[in-house]
Each structure stands twice: as C-alpha cells, then as structure tokens.
C-alpha cells in the first residue's frame, strides 16, 4: 500500500470511527438550519408532503392507477429519492461549504461526509412520518418484509458516502459541478421509476429492460419495496451491495490523489 492510500484509509477510519462527533454535528446542523422556525426540521417534511399529496391524485389519474395503490408508491419513492439526491447534491458542496473548517482546523475530511449523510438520514426519518400517514389512510399492509427498509436505508447511506467523497473532491476543483449536478439529478429522477412504475412499460419491453440497468432504481427498491410490504428482488440487493466496494475503491483512489489538495483549492 502506497503512503497516499495509507493516509486516505487513515482519514476514513478517523472520520468514520468518531461517530460521537459526526452524530452530534449532524443534530446541531439540523437545529441550526431551523432555529426560530415554527415547524423546525419538519418544514422539509411539510414540503415533501405538499409534493406527494398534490401530485399523487393527478398522476394516479394520468397513469390510470388506483389512488390507493399509487399514493403509497409515490410517497415511498419521493422520500427515498429525497435522501438519495441530497447525499449527492450536498455531497458536491460538502467541502466548499466547510472551507473555513478545512483551512483552519486539522480534521478528517471523511468526518464532514459522515456528518452530511447522517444529517440527511435524520431528515429521511422525519419524512417517513408522511409515509406513515399514507400507510394509515390507504391501509398499506405491514408484513415481515417491512423491517427490511432499515438495512436498505443503511445501504443507501454507505453508497452516499463514496458518492459524496468523489463529488466533493471533484467539485472542490471544478466549481461548475454542483450546478451541472442539479440538472443531472433532475433528469435522473424522471428516468428512474420514482413517480412512475416499471409496470406501466408493459408492451414496451425494450424500454422496461433498461430499467434493470439503472442503479438508482435498485437503490430506490431496497427501501421502497419494504415500505410497501414487499421484499426487494435479489437483483436489487446484489446491485446495491456490489456498488459499495466498487464505488469505495474509486473514492479511495480519488481521496489518495487529491485529498491533500482540497485546502488549496478552497
């Protein structure tokens, strides 16, 4: 192992193992953002709820789907996509937004990434209250598969760590990346079965087949399917789990090459 890789691994270990610090920082950032507001962190949940309930009835009619089936599907998709997209969009600015800390204090860069992912996981569980309302109103069954959303959200978080590492390093050097990423995330949302179901592509098997090659679809399924009382497919589990070591290898390469340059780029 080269010295650059050794220092990158040490940075990751120091940041990930200091769970008390990034756990506390995540909570403090949530409190700081919503200080002196009426709903506090539930403002983000309110915005998601408005999106779900305003779009749910309309899109159910457009897709010719029963509201009772479509609304839970949409709610599960929106809150999962909100977490996933936040890990990417905020990951792109995780270093630039903390320039003051990085340039004045010696701390593991991975600590900032862990804090960001943890903060957005807290927001996910706030948003999960929306799905609970939908679940009660439209009587979504609770089965033995429901609890599988917990390992699913952990797998998304682990993937979010390596995504944020790569995007944060690249965006520190090229400040156009966050603006470009915003558009790409929007496009990815429409190309991924978030608001529409793979089942509506019946009769278009060539297009439906490409969904299986969309990694975002599998990241969505390991959380949304359990919330709907179903077990994710083995393909989705395999893809999401396999993405972690592959993405981590790429992230470690970027970290070993460019981690020490971040302070100068900021």
- List the beta strands (DSSP E) in 29-128: none
Rounded Cα gap, residues 246 and 237, in angstroms: 15
The yes-or-no verdict on residue 144 having pLDDT over 70 is yes
Number of domains observed in the structure of the chain? 1
Query: What is the rounded average pLDDT of the residues 14-26?
Result: 86
Q: Token pair for residue 237?
A: 């589990």
- Residue pair 76/229 in contact (Cβ under 8 Å)? The answer is no
Token pair listed for 4: 């650059």
Give the domain extent around 65: 3-31+39-265
Span 245-249, average pLDDT: 95
- Residue pair 155/240 in contact (Cβ under 8 Å)? The answer is yes
pLDDT band at 243 (very low <50, low <70, confident <90, very high): very high
pLDDT value for 239: 95
Tell me the average pLDDT across 92-121: 88
Three-point CA angle 75, 77, 83, nearest 5°: 105
- Predicted TM-score (pTM) above 0.75: yes
DSSP codes, 182-225: HHHHHHHHHHTTTSS-GGGGTT-HHHHHHHTT-HHHHHHHHHHH
**pLDDT tens-digit map of 32-76:** 766 666 666 666 777 788 888 888 888 888 888 888 888 999 999
CB 55 within 8 A of CB 195: yes
Quick one: CA dihedral 49, 58, 78, 90, positive or negative? negative
67 by Cβ neighbours in 10 Å (0-12 / 13-18 / 19+) ranks as middle
Residue 212 φ then ψ, to 5°: -65, -20
Q: Is the dihedral of CA 63, 64, 65, 66 positive or negative?
A: positive
Report which of residues 8 and 162 the model is more confident about. Answer: 162
What's the rounded Cα separation, in Å, for the pair 213 and 68? 29
């Amino acid at each position: 192992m080269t010295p650059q890789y050794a220092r990158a691994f040490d940075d990751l270990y120091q940041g990930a193992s200091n769970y008390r610090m990034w756990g506390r920082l995540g909570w403090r950032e949530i409190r700081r953002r919503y200080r002196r507001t009426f709903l506090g962190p539930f403002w983000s949940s309110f915005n998601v709820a408005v999106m779900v309930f305003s779009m749910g009835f309309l899109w159910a009619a457009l897709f010719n789907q029963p509201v009772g089936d479509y609304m839970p599907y949409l709610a599960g998709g929106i809150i999962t996509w909100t977490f996933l997209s936040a890990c990417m969009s905020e990951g792109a600015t995780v270093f630039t937004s903390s320039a003051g800390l990085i340039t004045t204090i010696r701390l593991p860069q991975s600590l900032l990434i862990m804090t960001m992912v943890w903060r957005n996981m807290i927001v996910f569980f706030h948003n999960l209250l929306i799905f609970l309302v939908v679940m009660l109103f439209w009587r979504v069954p609770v089965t033995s598969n429901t609890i599988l959303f917990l390992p699913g959200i952990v797998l998304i978080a682990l993937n979010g760590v390596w995504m944020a590492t790569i995007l944060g390093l690249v965006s520190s050097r090229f400040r156009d990346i966050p603006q470009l990423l915003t558009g790409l995330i929007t496009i990815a949302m429409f190309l991924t079965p978030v608001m529409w179901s793979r089942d509506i592509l019946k009769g278009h098997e060539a297009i439906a087949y490409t969904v299986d090659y969309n990694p975002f679809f599998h990241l969505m399924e390991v959380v949304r399917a359990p919330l709907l009382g179903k077990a994710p497919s083995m393909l989705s589990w395999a893809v999401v789990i396999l993405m972690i070591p592959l993405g981590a290898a790429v992230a470690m390469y970027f970290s070993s090459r460019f981690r020490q340059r971040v302070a100068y780029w900021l």
